[in-house]
Amino acid sequence: MPAEPRFPAPDPREIDPRAVRRAFGRAAATYDGAAVLQREVSARLAGRLDVVKLTPGTILDVGCGTGEAIGELSARYPSARVLALDAALPMLQQARTRSAHGRSLLARMLGPLGRGGAPAPAFVCADGTALPLPGVCVDLVWSNLMLQWVNDLPRAFAEFRRVLRVGGLLTFTTFGPDTLKELARAFARIDGHTHVSRFVDMHDLGDMLVQAGFADPVMDREQVTVTYPSPAALLAELKAIGATNQTRDRPRGLTGRSRRAALEDVLRKLAQDGRIPATFEVVYGHAWKGEPKRTQDGLPIVKVERRNRG
């Protein structure tokens, strides 16, 4: 009898998408009070648009969360329509409420002058790897700290390119491999389960962009260290923003008191000046959608120009 085919074992650090949606749904009410780093990274990503010559008509915010970036994008590009997309419905509802409040406040402040301003955002609950949009319909894809929750990054990049118009821009942030290295090492001394997500290297992300057909990818990274007064404060913040362990090999059930105490004891030994450090490797990327070079069947596209006879 022929041997049965062997398939590679799934990576235990793979993300469970359903668990991610549930975690961020539960965190929708507490997210804004704890997402200090996320707001700072969003501001830095927005600052990088200062040197980009682009006048988008439609912007897609993939993984919009509670809508922090919608106001920034609308102010920066007042004639653009923002499509805000998130997989967690409670997050999207928070974003809608925030946006409506902001627009109402602006209208009251400006009075008649505020009429005819930026188009109202549209809100879509969907997965970033299966965008419910037609092709070539947006000019700017923006994604802040969402891609670390995606297993199939090449598929996500392919989707981003599909919906972008030629000449459109993808700009994003995600976390790199050094993120939460202190927490990963601490947990490794407690048990054999995965407790921290798999984070992709900046250079691999750049290769994926090229393979997806993007032109002129630019990648950059910086390391940010956030400190906390106690291990409990670090863990509480991660829970408040929904960034808990959602790997497939995560321990099931509640964390026992003894395991939690052992984890906090390991983290305390890392304290510097009485505070617990947590490293975040922030990766920035942007790339353009150039003219297609091949057909959907993989055949090369050859442009023929007619010369005028003098």
Q: Does residue 109 fall inside a structural domain?
A: yes
pLDDT of residue 111: 54
Q: Does residue 263 lie within any of the structural domains?
A: no
pLDDT of 191:
75
CATH number of the domain enclosing 146: 3.40.50.150
Residue at 107 is within a domain: yes
CB burial class (10 A; 0-12, 13-18, 19+) of residue 79?
exposed
Is 124 within the bounds of a domain?
Answer: yes
Check residue 4 and give its pLDDT.
54
Q: Rounded distance, CA 123 to CA 63, Å?
A: 11
Dihedral-angle region of residue 213 (phi above 0 means left; psi in -120 to 50 means alpha; beta otherwise): left
Collapse the DSSP code of 160 into the 3-class scheme (helix H, G, I; strand E, B; otherwise coil) and give the result.
helix
Residue tagged 């927490």 (tokens): 183
DSSP class of residue 34 equals H
* Model pLDDT, residue 53: 93
Q: Is residue 39 part of a domain?
A: yes
At residue 2, the pLDDT reads 54
Q: What is the pLDDT of residue 208?
A: 98
Contact 190, 266 (CB under 8 A): yes
pLDDT at residue 13, as a whole number: 73
pLDDT in single tens digits along all 310 residues of the chain: 555 555 455 676 788 999 999 999 999 999 999 999 999 999 999 999 999 999 999 999 999 999 999 999 999 999 999 999 999 999 999 999 999 987 766 555 555 545 556 789 999 999 999 999 999 999 999 999 999 999 999 999 999 999 999 999 999 999 999 999 999 999 888 876 777 888 999 999 999 999 999 999 999 999 999 999 999 999 999 999 999 888 877 765 545 688 889 999 999 999 999 999 999 999 999 999 998 666 556 566 555 555 665 5
Task: Supply the range of the domain harboring residue 128.
Answer: 17-177+198-224+279-289
| Dist CA 64 CA 78 (whole Å) | 18
Alpha helices, DSSP H only, in the chain? 17-27, 31-34, 36-47, 68-76, 89-110, 153-163, 181-188, 202-211, 231-240, 257-268
CA atoms lying within 13 Å on the CB side of residue 224: 15
- Spacing of C-alpha 4 from chain mean position: 39
Residue 62 one-letter amino acid: V
Residue 139 lies in a domain: yes
- Count of domains in the chain? 1
Which H or E element spans position 276?
A: strand 276-289
Residue 273 lies in a domain: no
The answer to whether position 309 is within a domain reads no
Among 136, 137, 134, 126, smallest CA distance to 64 is for 126
In terms of Cα–Cα distance, which of 197, 184, 278, 195 is closest to 230? 278
Partners of residue 221 on adjacent β-strands: 283
3-state secondary structure of 231: helix
- Residue 278 pLDDT: 97
Question: Can you say how many angstroms the Cα of residue 84 is from the centroid of all Cα atoms in its chain?
Answer: 13
Q: What is the predicted pLDDT for the residue at 169?
A: 98
